[in-house]
Amino acid sequence: MLPRLTRRLRDRTVVTAAILSLMGHDVYAMDNIAFGDNTNGRRTESPIKHVIIIMGENRTFDHVFATYEPRHGERVDNLLSKGIINKDGSPGPNYAKAAQFSAVVNNVYAISPGQKTPYNNSTNKLQAPGTSYAPQQCYATVEDAALNGPGCLTTLSEAARGDYGLRPQDLPLLTTGATGIAGGSPDTRIVSYNNLPNGPYPLETLVPGEATTSLYATYGGSPVHRFYQMWQELDCDVSKVTARNASGCQADLFPWVEQTVSSGSNGNPTPHPLKEGNIAMGFYNVAKGDAPYLTELARKYTLNDNYHQPVMGGTFANQMMFGYADALYYADAKGDPATPNHVLVPGSNPPVYVDEVENPNPAPGTNNWYANDGYGGGSYTNCSDFTQPGVAPIVNYLTSIHVPANCAPHAYYLLNNYVPSYIGSGAQDPINNGPFTLPPVIKQQHIGDVLTQAKVSWAYFGERWNDFKTAPGEGANFGALDPVAYLYCNICNPFLYSASVMTNPAAINAHMKDTTDLYDAIANGKLPAVSYVKPSTFNDGHPSSSRLDLFESFARRIIDQVKSNEELWESTAILVTTDEGGGYYDSGYVQPVDYFGDGTRIPMIVVSKYSQGGHMSHEYSDHASIIKFIERNWRLPKLSTRSRDNLPNPQTSDDNPYVPQNRPAIGDLFGNFAFADRDGGDHGHHDGDDHGDH
C-alpha cells in the first residue's frame, strides 16, 4: 500500500482516493428546500444572487495567456506585452528579463541564494524537460485510466461510459493526447528539447513536412510546486525592491529548483540526475489558437491579470484558501493547535517513526537537496518558532518588507498535501492518525459555516462524488477500492476536512454534491447562492493527468447551461480559475501577504452580464478575495480575526495598478464588475483598479 500512496501524494493528480466513503443512501432531495435554508440568499449588495466558482488545476497566467492581446484601450501584463516573447512565441527584444539562473545553497535553506549563475547551455546547461507523470498511452477502461493515469481512453464508447463532465460533442477529446514517451524521460516532442533557451519556450512540436504544431491538446509534465520550493523559485530579495516590484521577487530560479531538489527528498539520498528537467518555462500560445474557449471568454467578459494563487505550493493548501482564507494547522481532539506526533508507518517491522516537520536545509554535501522534504507528500511547520528549519529566512524577509508572518503561536501548519480524516459518510477513515492524514478541523471556521449561520444556501459540487461516497474507506482494502472513486479529488474539498460538516449527516446531504446535482439545480432554477465546482481528475486541466481543452469543455457545459436559463444568467457570476500555478513560470508581480504566500499569478475569468466587454482587470486578488466577495455581497461577518478576509482592498496608482500601496491588501473582486452600468449603483469599478477600501 505505501509505495502506491507515496507516489500519488506528490501533487493533486495522485491523492484522490486515499479517503473514501461508506454512505450509499440517496442524496438530499432537491425538490425540498434545496441545499439548506436560503432565507437571506437573495439579500445582496449587488445584482449577483448566485456565484459559481469553477476550479481547474495547475496553470499560471503566462503559461496560458502569454500572447493574449486585449481589445483596444485595454492593457495586459504578460510575456508578449513585456517584449519577452514575440507573438509567434519566439524570443522577443526583452527576452533577458525572463532569464533563469542556477544557484548554490549549502547547509542552510535560502529563499534568495547569493551565488547565482545564468544558464548558458554549455558549461551550465538546462536539463531537457521530463514527461513527469503524463500518460504514455491511452487506457482500455475507465478503471485502468483512473488507477494508472489518470489519462485518455482508447475508445469513444469507454469515454462515454466513464465521463459525464464534458459536453457530449467533446467526448472525443478524452481519447487522444498520450505522450508516447516513457515516464521520466526527456519530452522529445518539444522543439529543441535538448537545447532549450534560457527563458520561456512555446510548447510546440515539429511534425515532419509541416510547421511546428502546438502540444496544447496533449498531456505534459508537472513541474515541482511544493511550499519551500516555490519560495525559492520566486527568489524574493529585499535588495531588489523597487516601486514597480515592491516585493523584490525575481522569479528566476524555476529550472534550478526543478534540477536540484525537484519534488522532494523524504530524507533519501540525491538521485543523479533528477529527471524532472526544465518543465516550468513552457507556455501555450493563444495567438496561434491554443486555449480557444478561455480566450473567447476573456474577449467577451473580464480577464484579471493580477489574480494569484494564495499559498506557495500545491493543491491542498491552495484549495483550503477557497474555504478558510487561512492555512490549516494540526489540531488535537479539542481542535486546538498541537504538535504532530511521530507517526508509525503502517506495516513496518521493526516499527519506523517519522518526523513530519519539514526541513528544507540542504543535506550535508549537497546543493539544495532538502534534508527532509516531508513524509509521503505532506509536511508541517511551526512558523512562529524561528529555530525551526526554513522559518527564519522567510520571516526575516517578510519583516524587511514590513509584512507580518501571521503565524499563530505553537501552531503547526500543513504546507503540502495530506488527506482529510473523514470519509463521505462522516466516519473517520481507517488510516486516521496515519502519516497522510490531517486531523479534523474543529475550531477553524470556513465560509460554509458563516453562510449556514446567515441562512444563505451553498454547496460543494465535486465531480464523481457519487462514486466517492459509496466506495469503502481505504484501510486494509486499498487494492479493492472502486477505481473510479480515484477521480474524485478529496484533497481539493475544504469542507471534507471540517468537523462542522462531516459530523452532521444533514450537512453532508445538504452541501456535499456531485456535478450531476449542479446540472439539475441549474435546469430547475434551484441553484444555491454559493456553488463551488470541482472537476474530476479527467477534466480538471492538470497538465499530467488532464488537459486544458478538457477543462474548457467542462467549464463551457456549465456556462452555456446557466446562460440558457435567462433568470439565472441575469443574477449569476461564474468565476473560472485554477487552484494554483502548478510550478509553471509567470512574469507577474507577486505580493507576499503572510508566511504562506501569495504565489504566482493564475487565470481568473469573471463571466456574468455585469462583466461583459472584454475588460482587463488589474485588481490584486487571490482565493481569499472570493470569500471577501461572498462576505460583502451577502453582508456576512469575517471568518476569524486572523484570516485573510480581514485584509483591506488595494489602493493603487494609475501608473501602476498592479502593486497595492497599502500592502498587504487583496481585493474583493467587485472591481471586476460593472454593476453601476446596469443598476445605477456604484458597487463595482469596471476599470478593475480599486483605488480605495470599501
Q: What does the pLDDT look like over 74-113, one tens digit per residue? A: 999 999 999 999 999 999 999 999 999 999 999 999 999 9
* Global pTM value: 0.92
Lowest mean pLDDT among 176-190, 439-453, 563-577: 176-190
User: pLDDT at residue 337 above 60?
Assistant: yes
User: pLDDT at residue 214 above 50?
Assistant: yes
Exposure letters 597-607 (e unless 16+ CB within 10 A, then b): bbbbbbbbbbb
pLDDT at 665: 97
Q: Give 382's pLDDT tier (boundaries 50, 70, 90).
A: very high
Question: SS3 for 115?
Answer: strand
Rounded CA separation 224/226 (Å): 6
pLDDT at 15: 36
| Cβ partners under 8 Å of residue 271, min gap 6 | none
Q: How confident is the model over 405-432, as a mean pLDDT?
A: 84
C-alpha cell at 87: 507573438
Q: How confident is the model over 502-506, as a mean pLDDT?
A: 94
User: pLDDT at residue 9 above 90?
Assistant: no
Between 384 and 485, name the one with better pLDDT: 384
Provide, rounded to the nearest whole percent, the portion of the chain with pLDDT above 90. Answer: 74
C-alpha cell at 190: 518539444
Rounded CA separation 581/113 (Å): 23
User: pLDDT at residue 329 above 80?
Assistant: yes
Residue 230: Cβ-neighbour burial (10 angstroms; 0-12, 13-18, 19+): buried
As a three-state string, the secondary structure of 492-551 is HCHHHHEHHHHCCHHHHHHHEECHHHHHHHHHHCCCCCEEEEECCCCCCCCCCCCCHHHH
47-73 pLDDT tens trace: 999 999 999 999 999 999 999 999 999
DSSP character at residue 27: P
Rounded CA separation 19/589 (Å): 37
Instruction: List the one residue out of 12, 7, 11 whose CA is nearest residue 488.
Output: 12
Mean pLDDT over all residues of the chain? Answer: 88
pLDDT at 426: 77
| Cβ partners under 8 Å of residue 350, min gap 6 | none
**Region of residue 184 (phi > 0: left; psi between -120 and 50: alpha; otherwise: beta):** left
N-terminal to C-terminal alpha carbon distance within the chain: 52
User: pLDDT at residue 694 above 60?
Assistant: no
CA distances (Å), 418 to each of 317, 330, 476, 484, 592, in order?
9, 11, 19, 20, 24
Rounded CA separation 106/414 (Å): 25
Rounded CA separation 12/15 (Å): 6
Packed helices 315-324 and 623-633: angle between N→C axes, nearest 10 degrees: 10
Instruction: List the one residue out of 14, 23, 144 whose CA is nearest residue 436.
Output: 14
Lowest mean pLDDT among 148-157, 225-234, 258-267, 441-450: 258-267
pLDDT at 419: 86
Q: Give 513's pLDDT tier (boundaries 50, 70, 90).
A: very high
The shares of helix, strand and coil residues in the chain, as percent rounded to the nearest 5, are: 25, 15, 60
Rounded CA separation 321/626 (Å): 9
The residue type at 12: R
| Strand bridging mode 380-381 / 413-414 | antiparallel
